[in-house]
Amino acid sequence: MQLQSICAGLITLLTITGCSQQLPIASSSSELLAVNQNVTDDTNVIVLVSSNQAANRLMINAARRGYQLNSKTGLSSLNLIMLDFERPIGVNGTIAINDMKTMEPSATAELDHHYTIQAEENMPSPRQYASTMINWPEHGCSAKVNIGMIDGLVDQKTERLRSAMITTRDFTNSKPLVSAHGTAIADLLVGPGRLKDAHLYSASVIGAGSKNNSSAGVSEVIEAVDWLLSSNVMLVNISLAGPYNAALDRVVKGAAAQGMIIVAAVGNDGPNALPRYPAAFEDVIAVTAIDSAHAVFAAAGRGHHVDFSAPGVDVFVDDGQSPRYLSGTSVSAPFVTALIASDSKLATLDAVDSVRSRMASRATDLGASGRDPVFGAGLVRVHEQCTVKS
C-alpha cells in the first residue's frame, strides 16, 4: 500500500507526513505539542520520579491543585516510580507538565503518547528474498541470548510458534487481544528457520481498547521495559513508533545504562516526517526497510538517526493461519534483532555504540557513499559462523 502525502497543517492521530518542506526535529514535548497531539488519553499526564519520598510529595501537592491520581506503579528494575494523573478541567498538557516539574523538580512529566505498529499487509507475486539478502541460512541460527519484544499479544497456538519458548506478560489492563502484528514479529524472530533455541519474552502492550487495535500507551511501554530488565533480557525488539516523549527518553537512557540493547523501527510516516521514537533516541538502534532491489521503502522515515537497512518490503510471513506479505519498518527491525542475537560477538556487548560499530564494519553500503539519512550504514549482513549448519 502506498502512503499518500498530506499537505502541511493536516494532523492525524497515527501519522504525520509532510509536503516539500523539511520538518524540524522536535527535542521536547512542548515543541511537539505544536505539531502533534499523538496521545492515548489526552486527559492524562505521566510522571516519573526516583523515590517514594518524591512520589508522596508530588501526590500531596498535585491533589491540592486538583489532579487525580489514577495509578502508582513501581518500576524496580529502572529504580523509578511512575504516576498517572488525570488533569483538572481547563488545564492543558503544557501547563500540566510544567505544574509537575514545579511541584517536584526531579520529576520527568509527559503526555500519555501512543506508539503504533509499523507494517502494512500486501499480496504481490510470491517471492522470498529477505533471508537471502542478509545471508541468513535456511536452517536458521542459534540464539546466544534471551530476546524480548514489545508489541501486541502473540498467538502461541499457531503451528509455527507452538515449539517456540515464549514467555508472555500483558500490560494493557484489558482483555488480552491476540495481535496479527505481534504474532508476525514473533514469527520473524523465533519461527521455523529463524532463531533456534531462543527464549522470547513477549510484552503485550496493545489492548482491546487501543485505537484500531494498533497502538500502545507510553505507560505500558515503560512497564514492559522494566519487566524485561527484571527478567534479565538485554536485547529487545520494538516495532512500534510514535512521537518524542520525555518519560520514555528517561527510561530508555536508564535501560541502556544497564546494558539493554533496543532495536526499533524508524516508522512509516514518510521521508519528511519528524523522527519517530523510540528509534530516534541515541541509545536505540534504528532500522529502516528496503526492498529486493535495495530501494528504500517509500513511506520509511529518514534522518541522521537511521542506523541500518534490512528487508522490509513484501516480506513473506506465515503465522500458520494467514500466510501473507508485509511491508514496513516493523518488518525490518526483527531481522536486525535476530542478527544481533545470533552473533556471540554482538550479543555479549552491553553498549549500543559498540554494537553499531561492529555491525557497520560489515554492512553493505547503500545510497550515498558512507552513512546517510536514508539507509544509515547500509544493509546488515549475517556473520559467517551462522551460515554453517550446526
pLDDT in tens, the chain (390 residues): 333 332 222 222 223 222 223 333 333 444 334 334 466 556 889 999 999 999 999 999 999 999 999 999 999 999 999 999 999 988 988 899 999 999 999 999 998 888 887 665 554 443 478 988 998 988 899 999 999 999 999 999 888 898 899 999 999 987 777 888 999 999 999 999 999 999 999 999 987 655 555 788 899 999 999 999 999 999 999 999 999 999 999 999 999 999 999 999 999 999 999 999 999 999 999 999 999 999 999 999 999 999 999 999 999 887 656 778 889 999 999 999 999 999 999 998 989 999 999 999 999 999 999 999 999 999 999 887 675 554
Domain with CATH 3.30.70.240 in the chain: 31-110
User: CATH: 3.50.30.50, 3.30.70.240, 3.20.20.10, 3.20.20.100. Which one for 31-110?
Assistant: 3.30.70.240
Architecture of the domain defined by 116-387: 3-Layer(aba) Sandwich (3.40)
Distance CA 193, CA 180 (A): 19
Domain with CATH 3.40.50.200 in the chain: 116-387
Kind and range of the H or E run holding 195: strand 195-196
Q: Are 158 and 179 in contact (CB under 8 A)?
A: no
Angle between helices 218-230 and 246-257 (to 10 degrees): 10
Burial of 162 (0-12, 13-18, 19+ CB in 10 A): exposed
Grid cell, residue 138, equals: 535456511
* 73 CB neighbour count, 10 Å cutoff: 15
- pTM equals 0.84
Of 145, 159, 278, 155, which is closest to residue 224 (Cα–Cα)?
A: 278
pLDDT digits (tens, 9 = 90+) for 153-185: 999 988 889 889 999 999 998 777 788 899 999
Distance CA 248, CA 264 (A): 14
Kind and range of the H or E run holding 263: strand 261-265
